[in-house]
């Protein structure tokens, strides 16, 4: 009897604990189920994944309608809402409840809102292209590959020097960013010189992003219709095209500050066309059609 009494007591205890946990869970989420309509009054109301407001995932513009929990958190400073099926948080000061607006004697009357209009997952987080833009000044060196060295059959290391400027758009609340700019390329052998100005476009995805550093995977394209090869053997200059792809990574220090440092390691492949036959020192002719190799670059950034 005593052993059975102990088992029954343990069973009753476990059952009570389960009931308490269930009640606590219901109470903790009751503010979502008893939601209220609110209007965004801040220019940009930032949406956070946590109650401490440390991880932002987007924002909603002024005038939008959302559904918020009826119970404020963090001493009345934070309200819960729903985005993409999960609970997220917004500052209480960034919104006004519909019932509060209706009490303001004729100053503002909130329109009627149907259910399909109020959920935040029905709205896209917006990206303002006039903000979060950076100028990047950069220099680098790229391996030219075997085709360039074959023009003079040299075993010495040759590089394609680069200097350029680009504009980078790096949103605070997004994992992606992009950059577009100009890059001046040049490389010289004893009898040949190559020069060109490329237009480059890169798409970047942040693998790691903090206020101190960001680590990005990078993919891009580059091209020009004015690639020039000067030949001192016969005193001619050939003009052609250059198009290629870029893949690699970059590291940026202080990615959201006024000034920052940036650098990257990439693999680049450029196809060169329309240069025609190139005369060699021995009188033969050949074709030159590509640069290919690793590219290392560094730069400074300035936030506009």
Alpha-carbon dihedral sign for residues 140, 142, 148, 150: positive
Residues 80, 30: Cα–Cα separation, whole Å: 11
106 & 155 share domain: no
251 occurs within a structural domain = yes
Residue 208 or 100, more confident: 208
Q: Are 229 and 277 in contact (CB under 8 A)?
A: no
What is the structure's pLDDT at 216? 96
Edge-first strand order for the sheet with 95-97 is: 56-61, 44-48, 86-91, 78-83, 65-69, 35-40, 95-97
**Among 239, 234, 228, 241, residue whose Cα is nearest residue 279:** 234
Over residues 145-181, the pLDDT tens digits come to 989 988 988 778 889 999 999 999 987 667 889 999 9
91 occurs within a structural domain = yes
What is the structure's pLDDT at 212? 86
148 & 269 share domain: yes
243 & 100 share domain: no
Over residues 212-225, the pLDDT tens digits come to 889 999 999 999 99
Q: Taking residues 238-254, report their average pLDDT.
A: 95
Over residues 37-96, the pLDDT tens digits come to 888 888 888 888 788 887 777 778 787 888 888 777 787 888 888 776 667 888 888 888
Containing domain of residue 83, as a range?
32-122
Task: Quote the pTM value.
Answer: 0.63
53 occurs within a structural domain = yes
Q: Taking residues 121-147, report their average pLDDT.
A: 79
What is the structure's pLDDT at 159? 93
Q: Are 286 and 264 in contact (CB under 8 A)?
A: no
Residue 99's CATH number: 2.30.30.40
Residue where one domain finishes, among candidates 122, 146, 169 = 122
How many domains are there within the chain? 2
**Among 266, 226, 263, residue whose Cα is nearest residue 245:** 266
How large is the greatest C-alpha to C-alpha distance in the chain, in angstroms?
111
- By percentage, how much of the chain surpasses pLDDT 70? 78
Which segments of 41-153 are extended strands (E)? 44-48, 56-61, 65-69, 78-83, 86-91, 95-97, 133-143
Contacts (Cβ under 8 Å, ≥6 apart) of 116: 122
Is 246 a residue whose pLDDT tops 70?
Answer: yes
Residue 228 or 113, more confident: 228
Residues 155, 178: Cα–Cα separation, whole Å: 38
Residue 252's CATH number: 2.40.160.20
Adjacent-strand bridge partners of 264: 250, 297
Is 292 a residue whose pLDDT tops 80?
Answer: yes
What is the structure's pLDDT at 131? 76
Which residue has 């309608």 as its token pair? 65
285 & 200 share domain: yes
Q: Are 109 and 101 in contact (CB under 8 A)?
A: yes
Residue 23 or 299, more confident: 299
92 & 143 share domain: no
115 & 148 share domain: no
Least confident of 96-105, 174-183, 196-205, 210-219: 96-105
Q: Which residues of 202-219 are buried (b: 16+ CB within 10 A; e: fewer)?
A: bebbbeebeeeebebebe
Dihedrals phi, psi of 287, to nearest 5 degrees: -110, 140
> Using alpha carbons only, what angle is made at residue 262 by residues 256 and 268, rounded to the nearest 5 degrees?
130
Residue 96 or 183, more confident: 183
Residue 23 or 296, more confident: 296
Q: Mean pLDDT for the chain?
A: 81
168 occurs within a structural domain = yes
């Amino acid at each position: 009897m005593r052993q059975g009494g102990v088992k029954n007591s343990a069973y009753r205890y476990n059952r009570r604990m389960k009931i308490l946990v269930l009640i606590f869970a219901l109470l903790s989420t009751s503010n979502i189920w008893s939601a209220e309509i609110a209007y965004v009054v801040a220019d940009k109301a930032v949406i956070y994944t946590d109650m401490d407001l440390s991880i932002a995932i987007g924002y909603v513009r002024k005038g939008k309608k959302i559904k918020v929990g009826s119970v404020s958190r963090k001493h009345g400073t934070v309200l819960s809402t729903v985005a993409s099926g999960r609970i997220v948080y917004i500052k209480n000061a960034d919104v006004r409840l519909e019932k509060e607006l209706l009490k303001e004697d004729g100053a503002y009357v909130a329109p009627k809102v149907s259910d399909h209009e109020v959920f935040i997952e029905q709205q896209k987080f917006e990206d303002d292209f006039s903000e979060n833009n950076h100028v990047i000044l950069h220099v680098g060196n790229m391996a030219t590959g075997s085709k360039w060295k074959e023009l003079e059959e040299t075993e010495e290391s040759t590089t394609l020097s680069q200097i350029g400027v680009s504009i980078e758009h790096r949103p605070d609340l997004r994992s992606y960013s992009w950059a577009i700019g100009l890059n001046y390329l040049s490389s010289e052998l004893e009898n040949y010189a190559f020069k060109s100005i490329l237009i480059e476009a890169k798409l970047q995805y942040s693998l790691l992003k903090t206020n101190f550093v960001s680590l990005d995977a990078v993919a891009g394209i580059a091209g020009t219709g004015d690639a020039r090869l000067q030949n001192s053997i016969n005193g001619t200059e050939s003009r052609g095209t250059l198009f290629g792809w870029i893949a690699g990574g970059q590291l940026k220090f202080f990615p959201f500050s006024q000034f920052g440092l940036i650098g990257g390691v990439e693999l680049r492949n450029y196809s060169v066309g329309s240069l025609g036959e190139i005369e060699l020192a021995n009188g033969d002719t050949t074709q030159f059609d590509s640069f290919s190799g690793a590219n290392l670059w560094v730069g400074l950034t300035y936030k506009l």
